[in-house]
Amino acid sequence: HFLENVILHEKFLSGQYDTTFIDKTPELFVFPKRKDRGTKMLTYIAQTTLNGGEGMPSKDKPSFSPLLIPEVNHSQKLQSGTKQILDEKGPDGLAKWLKDQKEVMLTDTTFRDAHQSLLATRVRTNDLLQIAEPTAHMLPNLFSIEMWGGATFDVAYRFLKEDPWERLLKLRNKMPNVLFQMLLRSSNAVGYKNYPDNLIQEFVEKSSNAGIDVFRIFDSLNWVDGMKLAIESVRENNKIAEATICYTGDILDVGRQKYDLKYYKNMAQELETSGAHILGIKDMAGLLKPEAAYQLISTLKESTDLPIHLHTHDTSGNGIFTYARAIDAGVDVVDVAAGPMAGLTSQPSAQTLYHALEGKSRQPKVNIDAYEEISHYWEGIREYYQDFESGMKAPHTEIYFHEMPGGQYSNLKQQAKAVGLESRWNEVKTMFRQVNDMFGDIVKVTPSSKVIGDMTLFMVQNDLTEEDIYEKGESIDFPDSVIEFAQGYIGQPYQGFPEKLQKVILKDKEAITVRPGELLEPIDFKELRNSLFETLNRQITSFDLISHALYPKVFMDYTEFCESYGDMSVLDTPTFFYGMKLGEQIEVEIEKGKTLIVKLVSISEPKEDGTRVFYFDLNGQTREITVKDES
Ligand code: PYR
């Protein structure tokens, strides 16, 4: 634990330590209490077996085929990649190198957006780690691997009961050759509201130290003023600022002029002036049609010197066609996922794109056989998460009408179901578009998309029409997110708020026009460290501090879980979600070289107080665990 304390210490990670580091850093000698880890783990397994896993009803554990993990030839030296180019040449050099590549390059999103969009962000670190080394060895020519950010941060704590920083550190260790990329929501960081400036700066610094190289920075209203702090912070840490435009609307629709080519060109130039190393185009809903992609990329290539990185979702089924046209127009990098984790609301498939570009001079340089082999692994992994699938089975072209982002579609559908609107889903989709128009046609991506989603459900649920809002607005209590939006707390929309609607929502509340971060008190990290140290009685890392500052309750719930059950990221995924079958035996490596062998021998009938006793065999000894049946 001493070693763990040392390597996780902020000074060690930032390289700012000298020979007095150990003597002058007393918290290195505070070790976590290790209570009986076996009993804690068995309690979790018994609970999950009887009452279901996190966000999952109790059900029989399905049978899964063994995972196919490609073998790594350790006698072969790991091929160096874009990470080494960044280390050698710096971010400007890397950007120049990228622009000089003839072939289009690929970012693999399988470790982040693919599962955020298909499987409610549920893929666990354990499953990512097993394929990390093979990926580094077999796909060293990728531009980057997107493996962090967006929703992965809070979902890790909330539902997977694991530490997202640990995920980053462990993956970095196994994949030292390819750039690591994350999605950063500017002043919303990896959350859903605005945070103080010093928290954003701290977050960027510590994420850089822990292994992130490329920060894809966007603002949910394309408000460049809201992005500058994040861009500057990334530059200060000598990392790559991929300043990003969220694509919305349809530049081919001449009747809809708010977001036209000129709008995108102006924003791109503003981002270039603000310090972008790469220009990102984030087509979060998959609205960019093939010919629009050609026109957009051609125009941006002419109007800036930046390399361009395009991200789309394949919801409509047009993703490959869109990429092919963007590649014709000279786009430098595109986002793809491994075949079994691609398509529909996720990114287009890497292999499909590779084959689609056969015979073209810009076909990406990747080992297609390696991609297929790695895909066998992901095919097995996707089975593990079948209960989190959205149910979308075919390309969905209605996206061009309602414009919901890839990650929001299934989420909003679930929310609609939860409030009894499942049978009125078509109405919800129509209302989503109508609400967008009422709000002045805004960019819709986390968190602005949530505002439209909340207002949509609110209106359908209460049978309100647009006229009702203006006529009866005085007496309507709008959802919190809608009020905050009208107050300017998530930023300023392009061409301003629709005044009449803003007034109805605000009533006597004031709206701001400055950056919300300017008005927020900085976080006192020193005080926070002291108070957390007192509560948790262990070394508080800078990572803990940031996580607590971003998500106080989520972080404290997570630490409480760890107190009760220990580190359950060590369990295999089927056991984590479903517990164990009667008679089943599993092996759990709780730390390097220390393996527990667990067998579930029998379960008693329920007693009068509703409890059952689970009889386990743990490394040859019988253990009894009593759990309450909550069904
Ligand atoms: C996110 O912010 O999570 C998106 O993927 C847009």
pLDDT at 7 over 80: no
Ligand 1 lined by 136 (C-beta under 6 Å)? no
Residue 123, phi then psi, degrees to nearest 5: -65, 130
Residue nearest to atom 4 of ligand 1 (CA): 150
Segment among 24-33, 95-104, 162-171 with least mean pLDDT: 24-33
How is residue 160 annotated by DSSP? I
Nearest-5° Cα angle at 180, 179 to 185: 130
- Residue 222 and residue 230 in contact, taking contact as beta carbons nearer than 8 Å: no
Q: Output the 3-class SS for 115-159.
A: HHHHCCCCCCHHHHHHHHHHHHHHCCCCCEEEEEECCHHHHHHHH
Residue 207, phi then psi, degrees to nearest 5: -65, -35
Cα-trace Rg, the chain? 25
- Cα 184 to Cα 40, 65, 153, 281, 580: the distances in Å are 35, 36, 11, 14, 38
* Half-sphere exposure at residue 457, Cβ-oriented, CA atoms within 13 angstroms: 21
pLDDT at 322 over 90: yes
* Residue 117 Cα to ligand 1 middle (Å): 9
Segment among 31-35, 464-468, 553-557, 558-562 with least mean pLDDT: 31-35
- Residue 99 and residue 307 in contact, taking contact as beta carbons nearer than 8 Å: yes
Per-residue pLDDT tens over the stretch 56-85: 777 899 999 999 999 998 889 999 999 999
Residue from 111, 112, 115, 116 to probe ligand 1 pocket by mutation (most atoms less than 8 Å from CB): 116
Segment among 23-37, 295-309, 468-482, 520-534 with least mean pLDDT: 23-37
* Amino acid occupying residue 439: F
Non-local (6+) Cβ contacts of 544 within 8 A are 532, 555
Per-residue pLDDT tens over the stretch 392-437: 999 999 999 999 987 788 789 888 998 999 999 999 999 999 999 9
* Residue 446 Cα to ligand 1 middle (Å): 6
pLDDT at 302 over 80: yes
Residue from 109, 158, 183 to probe ligand 1 pocket by mutation (most atoms less than 8 Å from CB): 183
What mean pLDDT is predicted for residues 78-105? Answer: 98
To the nearest whole number, what is the mean pLDDT of the chain? 94
pLDDT at 33 over 60: no
Length of the chain measured in residues: 631
Dihedral, CA atoms, 224, 228, 229, 235, nearest 10 degrees? 140
Q: Tell me the percentage of the chain whose pLDDT exceeds 90.
A: 87
pLDDT tier at 110 (50, 70, 90 boundaries)? very high
Residue 382, phi then psi, degrees to nearest 5: -60, -35
* Residue 615 Cα to ligand 1 middle (Å): 44
How many angstroms separate the CA atoms of 193 and 489, rounded? Answer: 8
Taking the chain, what is the end-to-end CA distance rounded to the nearest angstrom?
40
How would you class 602 by CB atoms within 10 Å of its CB: exposed for 0-12, middle for 13-18, buried for 19 or more? Answer: exposed
Dihedral sign for Cα atoms in the order 14, 522, 239, 546: positive
How many angstroms separate the CA atoms of 88 and 254, rounded? Answer: 46
* Half-sphere exposure at residue 201, Cβ-oriented, CA atoms within 13 angstroms: 10
- Strand 611-618 to 621-628 pairing: antiparallel
Per-residue pLDDT tens over the stretch 353-363: 999 999 999 99
Residue from 284, 448, 490 to probe ligand 1 pocket by mutation (most atoms less than 8 Å from CB): 284
